[in-house]
Amino acid sequence: MRGARRAAAVTLALALTGCATMDQYLPTWRSFGVYKIDVNQGNYLSQDMVDKLKVGMTQAQVKQLLGTPLLTSPFRPDRWDYIYWREGTDGKREQRRVALFFNDGKLARMEGDVVSPAAGR
């Protein structure tokens, strides 16, 4: 019986020591094993995509190049808004906004974060 108590005491001491050193050497151990993914929302627009826009392109050509806009208004069908938001696993956030304005179904100008000089501001 005496040997069983001694073995239990040694096991308990080792277990408690292991918990103390885990906090000391690996402070994020509580979140260890949790997989975090990148969160992407909206339309991704690269500078190359925006550079291909030209004043006078039709709405169908713009839609083929950039995809369907994230926001359109029934009251302003001449304005399309492309919004992109991304949060990485490291917590960094990236946000872009581009507004396209059409006149008679043709691209007239752009505003926003990623703007092409060829599109005419």
Residue with tokens 């926003």: 112
**Model pLDDT, residue 121:** 46
Q: Which of 1, 93, 83, 12 is nearest to 44 (CA)?
A: 83
- Alpha helices, DSSP H only, in the chain? 2-25, 47-51, 59-66
Q: Is the pLDDT of residue 66 over 60?
A: yes
Q: How far apart are CA 62 and CA 64, in angstroms?
A: 5
In a domain, 109, yes or no: yes
**Model pLDDT, residue 31:** 55
Question: 27 and 43 share a domain?
Answer: no
In a domain, 47, yes or no: yes
Q: pLDDT tens digits, residue range 5-58?
A: 887 777 776 666 655 555 555 555 555 566 667 777 777 887 888 888 899 999
Question: 22 and 48 share a domain?
Answer: no
**Model pLDDT, residue 80:** 92
Question: 70 and 24 share a domain?
Answer: no
Question: 77 and 23 share a domain?
Answer: no
Q: How far apart are CA 16 and CA 19, in angstroms?
A: 5
Domain that holds residue 89: 39-115
In a domain, 120, yes or no: no
Q: Is the pLDDT of residue 72 over 90?
A: no
Instruction: Count how many domains the chain has.
Output: 2
